[in-house]
A and B are shown apart, each in its own frame.
Chain A
Amino acid sequence: MTEPILSIRNLTVEIPTRHGIFKPVENVSYDIRPGEIRGVVGESGAGKSMTGNAVIGLLDPPAHISQGEIWLNGRRIDALDPEEKRRIRGKEIGMIFQDPLTSLNPLFTIGEQLVETIQLHLGFTQAQAKARALELLEAVSIPNPPERFNQYPHQFSGGMRQRVVIALALCSEPSVIVADEPTTALDVSIQAQVLDLIKKLARERQIGVILVTHDMGVIADTTEQVTVMYSGKVVESGTTDQILGAPTHEYTKSLISAVPRPHEKQYRFPQVSYGGRETVFKVEDLARNWPKTQASSSGKILSVQGLTKRFVEKSSIIPSRQTYFTAVDEVSFDIHDGEVFGIVGESGSGKSTVARMIATLLPVDGGKVMFDGKDVTRLDREGQAWYRRQIQMIFQDPFSSLNPRMKVGDIVAEPLLHHKILPRNQVEARVRELLDKVGLASDAYRKYPHEFSGGQRQRISIARALATQPRFLICDEPTSALDVSIQAQILNILKDLQEHLGLTMLFISHDLPVVRQMCDRVGVMQRGKMVEVQETEALFSAPEHPYTRELLNLMPRLAQLSD
């Protein structure tokens, strides 16, 4: 085995706070060898990024390295003064951050940014630096580098921008690259290309890569070595096959078991029990009070016909001068009573816009949404009041979907009070019951949302959605902001709801494995159009549309995963 180029020895990072010393990274060690990609995986707050920042020397004060050593090419770098650290950063260690939007300066062309970085680190002349910049753009597979050289970051798509960021990281021939969630902000198809690029560069240029991610799919497809972190400590380290296939630590086991399997349908998601308290969801109890589900007259609870939404791209007073962007283009589909209908697609495909139009949060520009025989886009006051009780929605971001200034009890009580479902004096009892049923402790009633974790907030959202006893639930990426173990819990809750309460669901996601586990039928959207609607199993085994096939191909393999 070759010598490691970077080794981290017993690294501890401390942040002094007024509540005592907090250690986001504790006693962490790992090595990177030339050409090797090491995945660092764990839940949010596990200390993965903090370790990366410590290596680059970009810890925000008051965070500091209190213990341990970092060696780069046989030189100890953790104790250098800031000026020397700055010289190493960018020159010997390259960085790729999560958001390609903010890592490039919007006021300079990408050529200027590359040339500046190259000159700074390598001391080239203008002409030499330009030649090298073009060569790098070529290396990161940007088509037509001479033309792209003079363009500004906003003229690049997200994936292209991330390539430029990679080119920037490569400027000075670094021996190590720290990539912090490099593909989290990107769509699956672009994610695959960027990861392939990182793999190729690591191999060809013998660069060691630290790949920080929370995504098991990325780990399985890209890395050779994996370090699993949990609350600041390394719980397990080894080759990717070994960790994914035969994990030894309880936490790794539970983490891996929570990953949705792409290639088979499971009945339930395995619950992760490591660390956190077991929270029980008692949906059966809830079913007792639930009104008997009325079947809709046609068997189709929701029928979307030719739904269209246009957004004004360039506004003008003269109507003929206005230009529009068609976000949703003549989309039609039906949802049957009691089924879970999934919509998948990449960002910008219009799936969330469809959901918001169905919820009548956005006005439609064409087409109809028939709910139980009534066109809900043209409801009168009374009809609207009725419709508001039939549907509810669970939002993607649990941090913005709850009013931070309202107590949890008031949040869940609001629909009950608004629709006057119960007499005022019975509301509190019902709210407490709902909170209990979604697995929250009884003191949740008097607390504010910020006192809860992402998963718990999503439970509060579910309680609020269930308060009106709706027939139809829209879930707009309900778990994409959550860690994989919490995702499993929330998805199980949604499954139970559907099963015991006979709820019909519209489930929107970009995550194919999740969709496979959750949905009975799936529609695939691309650029505002619904390209294919199929039974889930049929879609996954025999996709018809080329775009569906492409999406399925990009799905992470996860073949090594243990059961």
Chain B
Amino acid sequence: MSDQTMTKSPSRLRRALDSDLYYAFRTSPVAMISAFVSILLILAAVFAPLVATTNPFDPSSLNLMNGFTPPMTDNAFTGDSFIMGTDDQGRDVFSTILYGMRISLFVGVAAVLFALVLGVILGLLAGYAGGWTDTIIMRAADVQLTFPSILVAMLVFGIAKGITPVEYRDQMAIWVLILAIGLSDWVQFARVVRGATLVEKSKDYVAAARLIGRPPLAIMLRHILPNVLSPVLVIATISLALAIIAEATLSFLGVGAPPTQPSLGTLIRIGQQFLFSGEWWILFFPACTLLALALSVNLMGDWLRDALNPRLK
């Protein structure tokens, strides 16, 4: 429309509210609900110390007499009541879930960020440079894809555990977990970015930048990178859900977050010991939280992918 050039540029917020993406968001109930659930859970995790009724890791606040209190029931000895009950140590399950979700989310977000940065750099390099660089990076990616990612993560975890001194092991566990999940996840970022880079590289605006004399690094970062980021955003959202599950799986298997810093996966592992003796709530509530978190984030990612790519509809 030629008359668009006459109108004043609206503010950034106005433009965001007027964008097709926001419109697609407002008209999709799935997106609205999943966004609401994920934001609620994330806020609850971030502000856990304010939301939680007790600090489950402060031994002085624990009372062993409170152990195995079922949800919404007065404890026979102390008369305390807990919304989601307590575990064998008398810790409030609701509070441990909030703190556990913190660890789960932190590991998930950090692992995805690590995978994203690594994958985007390697994918950009492979796509733009081509030739041998491309061959080496992409073959490495192919080889890695032949191993199940959980296996890669366990391998990294095992090696890291072997080389860290015993006294640092618990402190390092979280970082090793991030490294392990991130390393098993970079391939999909690299593949998508490489493909998009190949498309963008052949466009004339890249030729124009080369003609100006811009060096390859500037072309990659300033010109190509912003144009390949929207699929990356989508993968990152979906990966976040997968990374949270991967972390839970590793922790469930006992190779993840230590019991001193339990994540949702650790809580589920602890809880499953009590499932058959009737204390179902110790397993049930952490598992539901994990489900809600992973599902809502995943649905957000799915919706984002459809909204950014109208051709899929």
Contact = CB atoms under 8 A, between A and B. Distances in A.
A445 B1 CA distance: 18
A388 B211 contact: yes
Most chain A CB within a 10 A radius of its CB, from B6, B207, B214, B222: B207
Nearest to B6: A441
Interface string A393-415: 10111001111111000000011
Nearest to B213: A388
B208 A393 contact: yes
A384 interface: yes
B213 to A, nearest CB: 4
Contacts of A452: 5
Interface in B167-181: none
B207 A443 contact: no
Contacts of A464: 208
B227 A403 contact: yes
A372 B203 CA distance: 29
B226 A443 contact: no
Interface string B187-216: 000000000000000011101111111100
Q: How large is the interface on B (under 10, 10 to 19, 20 to 34, 35 or more residues)?
A: 20 to 34
Contact of B5 (A402, A418, A451): A451
Contact of B203 (A356, A392, A400, A440): A400
A414 B207 contact: no
Contact of A392 (B8, B211, B226): B211
Interface size range on A against B: 35 or more
B47 interface: no
Given A401-B204, A453-B2, A419 B227 contact: no
B4 A393 contact: no
A402 B211 contact: no
A443 B7 CA distance: 9
A403 B225 CA distance: 11
Contact of B2 (A277, A400, A403): A277
A276 B209 CA distance: 31
B213 A451 contact: no
Given A441-B6, A456-B5, A401 B214 contact: no
B36 interface: no
A414 B209 contact: yes
A86 interface: no
A35 to B, nearest CB: 40
A385 interface: yes
Contact of B226 (A405, A419, A440): A405
B9 interface: yes
Interface in A459-515: 461, 464, 468
B223 interface: yes
B2 A402 contact: no
Contacts of A446: 9
A461 B4 CA distance: 19
Contacts of A405: 226-227
A447 interface: yes
B57 interface: no
Nearest to A468: B212
Given A444-B5, A456-B5, A385 B213 contact: yes
A322 to B, nearest CB: 16
A464 B209 CA distance: 10
Nearest to B218: A418
A391 B187 CA distance: 41
Interface in B1-21: 1-2, 4-6, 8-9
A508 B60 CA distance: 83
Given A400-B204, A405-B226, A446-B9, A393 B2 contact: no
A525 interface: no
Interface of A: 18, 276-277, 356, 359, 361, 384-385, 388, 391-393, 395-397, 400-406, 414-415, 418-419, 440-441, 443-444, 446-447, 451-453, 456, 461, 464, 468
8 contacts: A18-B23, A359-B211, A361-B210, A392-B211, A395-B207, A403-B209, A440-B5, A461-B208
Closest 3 CB pairs of A and B: A388-B213, A401-B204, A405-B226
